[in-house]
Amino acid sequence: MFTSESVSEGHPDKICDQISDAVLDAHLKLDPDSHVACETLVTTNFCLLAGEVKSHAEVNYENVARETVKSIGYDIPDLGFHFLENTYRIRIHSQSPDIDHGVVDNEGAGDQGLMFGFACSETDALMPYPIQLAHRLLEKLRESRRAGELPWARPDAKSQVTVEYNGYQPVAIDEILLSVHHAPDAHTPDMAEDVLKKVIQPVLGGCCPSLPWNGNLLFNPSGRFAIGGPHGDAGLTGRKIIVDTYGGTGRHGGGAFSGKDPTKVDRSAAYMARHIAKNIVSAGIAERCEIQLAYAIGRSDPVSVMVETFGTEKVKDVGEVEKAVREIFPLRPYRIIEYLGLKRPIFSRTSSFGHFGREPEKEGHFSWEKTDRAEELASRLL
């Protein structure tokens, strides 16, 4: 059995991720060369933004935060968090010139660190099944809530999915857990029935591959969830890094993504590592692949590159795969930025429902999910 969780866009930590990425996008829209590191904290009727910025853009941070909070759904009275009633505090200052020198003049990484990317053949999106299903359940919950089909539902929610495996192959869904913030007068059995019919069944019906589910559902297992959002629990940017990536499958470098411009390799190199791993699996070179990239601040070339295929590779020498990765994919930070088109305001869309396993879009969102190098890899290695 393996379990992964996701959280909705109204979860306190995810509110912070979305505000931080909205600040980043606001700067990139006006100045594509902006350097941004923005952190957010929320609690009852309060929102704090802090960080460092180098940009020619003038951004009204309070307006960005208010509009983000409103778009999430915190425009309902008496939730203890409302886009108009909150107190907003801004503590954003200029970026350190020492960091700026290493990044701009030397075209180096904005910090040291190690990043992992992962892909596997469990789903059409080449993502682990538990996290992919956990995300899609909450996306459908948001869709149903916004459509008025769940009038009792509030923006805060969590999902958890347990999947039975035979080796690396998922064979059945063992349990689905959903906790949904609700109106105080809502009746639990009615809510559970609504969620089953309007969220779970539609998602499972369209899930690829379709796995059997024994019907084991835990809905609001603590009994009530009438106090939620930042009024129920404080939130911070970057506290959901496993939700953002692979749900606990594979390793994690430890760095968060949201609020960071792409010169921070925590973000850009993690995206590239996912892109490489996905192309390797898409090419049929392996059924499971993990990439590690490591960098030193101010240095342009990676300190190390690792390819792990867990014995699922279709080639005799995994070292040849690593050699191909180094020669086919740009691994210097500024080349990654150019290759993936990361100077555009595309990051707010990433800050809820996962940074990976999403469909790449014409506007440049989720460019790292493209498998456009798979054919080249296959022709070289297979």
The residues annotated with a catalytic role in the active site are 11, 13-14, 39, 52, 158, 225, 233-234, 239-240, 260, 264, 266
* Residue 78 backbone zone (phi > 0: left; psi -120 to 50: alpha; other: beta): left
- Number of alpha carbons in the 13 Å side-chain half-sphere of residue 360: 12
Does residue 205 sit in helix, strand or coil?
helix
Report d(CA 24, CA 274) in Å as an integer: 22
129 alpha-carbon distance from chain centroid: 15
Picking from 358, 337, 360, the residue whose alpha carbon sits closest to that of residue 272 is 337
Q: Are 159 and 217 in contact (CB under 8 A)?
A: no
Per the CB < 8 A criterion, the answer to whether 366 and 22 are in contact is no
Under 8 Å between Cβ of 322 and 306 = yes
Torsion of CA 225, 231, 236, 240, to 10 degrees: 10
Name the residue with tokens 């609504």: 194
List the beta bridge partners of residue 182.
Answer: 153
The length of the chain, given as a count of residues = 382
